[in-house]
Amino acid sequence: MPPLPTNPDIRRQLKDRLLTLSPRAFEYFAGDLLTYIGLQNVSVTRYIGDGGIDAQGDLIANSGFVSVPTGVQVKRLRQNVQRPDIDRFIGAMGGLFQHGIFITTAGYAEQAKVKARSSPFLRVDTIDGDQVVALMGLHQLGTQPTAGTSLQLDEDFFLAFESQASNRPTQIANAKEPYQVAPDVEGGSPTRPEDDLISMRALGYELRVDPYTVQDWVRGGKLQPDSVTRVGQRESYFFRRDRIGAIRTQLGLSSMPASNVEWRQAFLDYARSRSLTKSYKPVLIKAILRLVNRHGEIHIGELAREFHAFYLQRQRDNLMTEADGPLKKPSAITPETVQKLIIKYPLDRFLLQHFLEYDKKAGIVRFAPQLWQELRFYELLDVQTIADEQLRYYYERLG
């Protein structure tokens, strides 16, 4: 489970804000959430009035050899999920799926958890409201930093879903009380592909690029969104989920690695890339390889100090550090500032590529398990040599 945001107030505010979303806006949020949970080939399959399957996708093993069809139900509830809710979900999946994920903004009664764990027909994983909020914190969804170190709600994040919902008529028959589980109703029609939309941020996660890159593609005419909404002065872009593969091909992007071997190759290719606007990436790589332990882990504070030390040494040697930005004068900034800088960039790029994971609560950066178990010692030495070569190339280019 990802760590919860440390401030209990922001956790409560996130839960409360999810409960105040309109039903259709919440469904757009839930569609995005499935992307971050890790399902692949997701499609919304909800039927009008259906109390069963809201979406489906594939849970793919790290080896790439096993793909498990998975049914999903997402319920925005104030009260705990009860055993009959799990019974209905299992019944709706019968014969269609081998695995299910039940997601709620509340919690689970003990009998509901027992039923989910002990079903003889298929496995059901349960995700509660605390875990939803933890996932939002991990991917910085719905919050933004204040002037200090605390977080506040990013109201524009939620309003973008509301705006999108108001642009398109709902296909879902909502009860007067949206926090009750609806009975199963047969004969509905599936959600149309043109209504199965994901946000710009979720698309960036799927494509393994940051959302601002997607924004630049749209504004530069390289990528056409399927829906544009406006919240205040900010435009929000939404894309059909069934376009993701075509967009990836159009932009020449690689798909998510399907096996541990492919993860290793993708990491090595990324490390070799000379697409550098600053020196941060190779410096971070050198710092990681110097500090990583046998479990593939590094403490973020130690990583920041090692990263900072590279620039301090260049400054002492009267060498170029950076052309601009805070590391142009590295002795003028604190280790805490450096830590914030590398979390924002370049560590964020490695997180987007799913090569690294960052446990904020523990302060630990670690290699993704599927990558760490494949990397060989000689390959890490090769990556370090590549980082040195990239830095020489970068500073020679700066002149």
- pLDDT tens for the chain, 399 residues long, are 444 455 668 889 999 999 999 988 998 999 999 999 888 888 887 544 445 688 889 887 666 667 889 999 999 999 999 999 999 999 888 878 889 999 999 999 999 999 999 988 788 999 999 999 999 988 889 988 776 557 889 999 999 999 998 876 443 333 333 333 333 333 344 567 788 999 999 999 999 888 888 999 999 999 999 999 988 778 999 999 999 999 999 999 888 887 888 889 999 999 988 778 899 999 999 999 999 999 999 999 999 999 999 999 999 999 999 989 999 999 999 988 999 899 888 998 898 888 999 887 789 999 998 899 899 999 999 999 999 999 999 999 887
Domain(s) labelled CATH 1.10.10 in the chain stretch across 260-398
Q: What CATH number does the domain located at 260-398 have? A: 1.10.10
What is residue 177's predicted lDDT score, i.e. its pLDDT? 35
CA distance 66 to 199: 29
**Tokens 């709620």 map to which residue?**
104
What is residue 52's predicted lDDT score, i.e. its pLDDT? 67
Tokens of 99: 């695995």
Is residue 239 within 8 Å of 225, Cβ to Cβ? yes
If you classify domain 1-139 with CATH, what class do you get? alpha beta
Tokens of 226: 């399927």
What is residue 104's predicted lDDT score, i.e. its pLDDT? 94
What is residue 43's predicted lDDT score, i.e. its pLDDT? 86
What is residue 146's predicted lDDT score, i.e. its pLDDT? 72
Domain(s) labelled CATH 3.40.1350.10 in the chain stretch across 1-139
